[in-house]
Amino acid sequence: MNTQRVFFLVWIINVCSSQPTGNTGFFWQVTDFHYDANYSTKGNPWKMCHDSSEGSYSNSIYGNYQCDSPWRLILSATAAMKRLHPDPDFILWTGDSVPHVPDSTLDLQKNAQNIGNISLLLRSVFPNTSIYPVLGNHDEYPADAYPPPIFPRSVQSVLHSMVNAGS
C-alpha cells in the first residue's frame, strides 16, 4: 500500500467514525397502544383475552400476541422510551389507542377515557417534551367513523381528550 492509499483509508475511517454534530436531532414515534382495560391473564387469547366462563388461561402480565395491550405493557413501553432516550426533541404519537372491540362494548366517554389516560401517561413521563398526536381509525367512535360532517362532535371530543394533557 503506498502512502496515498493509506492516507485515503485513514480519511475514510475518519469520515465513517465521526460523531453526529450539534445539528442531529432525535424523536420518538409511538403508535398503536390499543390499550384494553379488560385484558385478563386468565382470558381466552382467541377472544381478546377477556374473562369468560370458558375456562382459565395463563397469559403473560405483559400481554399476548393475540390480544390488545394491558396497562402494564404500556407502562413498560413508556418507561423504556424514557430509559433509552429521556430527552427527545418531540414525540409523534400516531394514534390507535383504543382496543379492537365491537363498538357496542364502548361509548364515546369510554373511548375518550382510554385515549385520555394514555395522554396523561405520556405527559407525566415526558413533562417537557412536545407531543404531537395523530388520530388513528380506532380512536374515533364509532371506530372508522371519520367524516366530520356526519360525526363532528365525536371527532372534537376525541381530539380534546388527546390534547388536554398535552397543553
Residue 86 CB, nearest approach to ligand NAG (Å): 7
Residue 30: phi, psi to the nearest 5? -130, 140
Closest CB to ligand NAG among residues 9, 84: 84
The 14-43 site mask, x for binding ligand NAG (CB under 6 A), equals -----------------------xx-----
The 94-133 site mask, x for binding ligand NAG (CB under 6 A), equals -----x-x---xx---x--xx--x---------xx-----
Under 8 Å between Cβ of 64 and 50: no
Under 8 Å between Cβ of 78 and 121: yes
Q: If binding is defined by CB under 6 A, does position 13 make contact with ligand NAG?
A: no
Closest CB to ligand NAG among residues 86, 148: 86
Closest CB to ligand NAG among residues 111, 135: 111
DSSP state letters, 96-153: --S-S--GGG--HHHHHHHHHHHHHHHHHHSTTSEEEE---TTTSSSTT---TTTSHH
Closest CB to ligand NAG among residues 10, 144: 144
Cell of 115: 385515549
Strand partners, 27: 90
Give the interface with ligand NAG as residue ranges (CB under 6 A). 37-38, 99, 101, 105-106, 110, 113-114, 117, 127-128
